[in-house]
């Protein structure tokens, strides 16, 4: 158990420190760069994420599945990276041949040839980095994995500092900072793990590739739907609004992204614990207690965000004041996702992972409809509403399919609390005096706590009962 905790802490150091460095980078960027320019820069990273989703074909997940059963891990690595790397170089070739068209796609201008080519280079670097980091994770080199993550974030922060203070203060400062910081980190990885790319004894294993593709393609579909769900907001703003709205939305999304630390940390602990409990035949009440407890903690955190939302102006800059209206909606995404991790276990326990595709589709449909209706008129606010509402559908679908496949416990309270949180986000759109809004949020907090009084009582009972089985609730 001690070894498990050490590894958990080791793998958590990187994301936590990286998130902190990113949090420092945000005000540095937004202070010098206005929302219009920031919106253009965000399209670079957005399309990088979208291309990355399709490039891997789910083979990266298949690689981790095959890792421990493979005797020749070098050959496994080289076979796994083979197709994604070829596709990445193909995209790089396209950026060389059609730089003006890529520039228009990314930035709405045909003159930004160098950034367009850098996009292709980043795609190649992203594939190499992904598989090297997966190798580190599978070898359980927790500290080294975290140090690489921290080094990457520090490099980006350093270049951001240099560019915005000494060189330029437009969207290209953000793009170049991200590119140079990432590439330096990836060059280190390639040099450090250069033996992974010694192809002297390489042999293309067609059977292995076929097996990984068959495993990975369903994951690709589910991941693509998830990626589309998480990017439709900015794509809609790009199509039907302007770069100012994209900039406001993206800057706020980065603030909300700090909550992903909680999501990642909880998931890292909860997934192996849930699998162990399932194998041990633990009563479903254990799973319910965890689910109720996470719902309580995340709902309290959300109310705290509502009360502190005006501080965002100080974190960003006065030019991003509109961010206060959408931060609550964007924070709902990591909050709802974290809670859903406790209510979706029936899907993975039953091994019916194809249900994740239906979950993605159920969430995607309202996202598309709401974006079409609201974004042309309301810009970033409309996109934020679409994102939060679609994640409510995401939660309902995940929970329903889980209940249908063996993990059935009462979730009426979950639905009620989530709808209250969504209502709170809408109420905080109102332009009323600070004191009145504060009273509304306080009232919402008391209502949420009263509805979860039984959960509070149960958590307190578990804490106090030292001599019962509940005292070792999370013990291995």
Model confidence pLDDT, tens digit, residues 81-105: 888 899 999 999 999 999 888 888 8
Enter the pTM of the model: 0.74
CA–CA distance, 200 with 233 (Å, rounded to integer): 46
Span 300-357, pLDDT tens digits: 988 988 888 777 666 666 666 677 788 889 889 889 988 998 888 888 777 677 788 8
Q: Measuring CA to CA, which residue among 273, 275, 280, 230 is closest to residue 253?
A: 230
Cβ–Cβ < 8 Å for 302, 428: no
Question: What was the pLDDT predicted at 349?
Answer: 77
Task: Indicate the SS3 state at residue 282.
Answer: coil
CA–CA distance, 392 with 418 (Å, rounded to integer): 7
CA–CA distance, 441 with 292 (Å, rounded to integer): 21
Query: Given a cut of 50, is residue 2 above it in pLDDT?
Result: no
Higher-scoring residue by pLDDT: 174, 396: 396
- Domain positions in the chain: 2-204, 227-465
Question: What was the pLDDT predicted at 7?
Answer: 52
CA–CA distance, 214 with 220 (Å, rounded to integer): 10
- As given in the structure block, the two tokens for residue 343 are 């209510």
Span 375-431, pLDDT tens digits: 998 988 999 999 999 999 999 999 999 888 877 888 899 999 999 999 999 988 887
Question: What was the pLDDT predicted at 350?
Answer: 78
CA–CA distance, 190 with 194 (Å, rounded to integer): 5
Query: Given a cut of 70, is residue 360 above it in pLDDT?
Result: yes
Span 102-154, pLDDT tens digits: 888 887 778 888 888 988 898 888 888 888 888 877 776 767 777 777 888 88
Task: Indicate the SS3 state at residue 202.
Answer: coil
- As given in the structure block, the two tokens for residue 261 are 């630390």
Overall size of the chain counted in residues: 476
Mean pLDDT of 31-52: 77
Mean pLDDT of 426-453: 86
Higher-scoring residue by pLDDT: 22, 220: 220
- As given in the structure block, the two tokens for residue 321 are 């004041």
Highest mean pLDDT among 58-67, 245-254, 263-272, 373-382: 373-382
């Amino acid at each position: 158990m001690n070894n498990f905790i050490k590894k958990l802490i080791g793998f958590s150091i990187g994301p936590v420190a990286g998130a902190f460095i990113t949090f420092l980078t945000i005000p540095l960027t937004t202070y010098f760069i206005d929302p219009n320019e920031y919106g253009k820069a965000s399209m670079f990273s957005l399309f990088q994420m979208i291309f990355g989703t399709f490039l891997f074909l789910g083979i990266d997940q298949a690689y981790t599945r095959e890792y421990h059963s493979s005797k020749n891990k070098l050959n496994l690595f080289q076979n796994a990276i083979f197709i994604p790397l070829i596709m990445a170089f193909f995209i790089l070739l396209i950026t060389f041949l059609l730089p003006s068209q890529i520039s228009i796609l990314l930035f709405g201008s045909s003159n930004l040839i160098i950034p367009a080519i850098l996009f292709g280079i980043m795609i190649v670097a992203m594939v190499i980095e992904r598989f090297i980091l997966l190798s580190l994770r599978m070898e359980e080199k927790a500290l080294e994995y975290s140090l690489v993550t921290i080094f990457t974030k520090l490099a980006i922060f350093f270049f951001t500092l240099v560019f915005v203070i000494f060189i330029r203060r437009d969207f290209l400062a953000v793009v170049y900072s991200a590119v140079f910081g990432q590439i330096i980190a990836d060059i280190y990885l390639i040099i450090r793990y250069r033996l992974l790319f010694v192809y002297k004894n390489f042999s293309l294993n067609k059977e292995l590739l076929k097996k990984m593709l068959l495993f990975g393609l369903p994951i690709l579909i589910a991941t693509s739907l998830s990626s589309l769900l998480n990017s439709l907001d900015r794509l809609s703003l790009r199509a039907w609004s302007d770069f100012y709205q994209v900039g406001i939305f993206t800057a706020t999304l980065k603030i909300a992204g700090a909550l992903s630390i909680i999501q990642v940390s909880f998931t890292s602990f909860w997934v192996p614990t849930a699998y162990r409990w399932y194998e041990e035949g633990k009563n479903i009440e254990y799973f319910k207690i965890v689910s109720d407890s996470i719902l309580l903690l995340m709902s309290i955190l959300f109310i705290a965000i509502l009360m502190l939302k005006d501080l965002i102006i100080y974190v960003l800059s006065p030019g991003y004041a509109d961010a206060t209206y959408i931060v609550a909606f964007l924070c709902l995404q990591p909050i709802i996702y974290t809670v859903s991790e406790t209510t979706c276990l029936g899907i993975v326990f039953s091994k019916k992972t194809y249900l994740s595709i239906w979950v993605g589709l159920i969430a995607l449909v309202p996202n598309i409809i709401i974006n079409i209706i609201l974004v042309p008129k309301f810009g970033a606010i409309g996109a934020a509403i679409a994102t939060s509402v679609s994640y409510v559908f995401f939660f309902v679908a995940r929970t329903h399919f889980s209940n249908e496949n063996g993990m059935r416990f009462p979730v009426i309270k979950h639905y009620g609390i989530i709808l209250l949180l969504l209502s709170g986000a809408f109420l905080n759109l109102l332009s009323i005096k600070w004191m009145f809004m504060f009273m509304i949020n306080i009232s919402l907090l008391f209502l949420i706590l009263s509805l979860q009084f039984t959960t509070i009582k149960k958590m307190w009972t578990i804490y106090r009962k030292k001599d019962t089985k509940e005292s070792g609730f999370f013990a291995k």
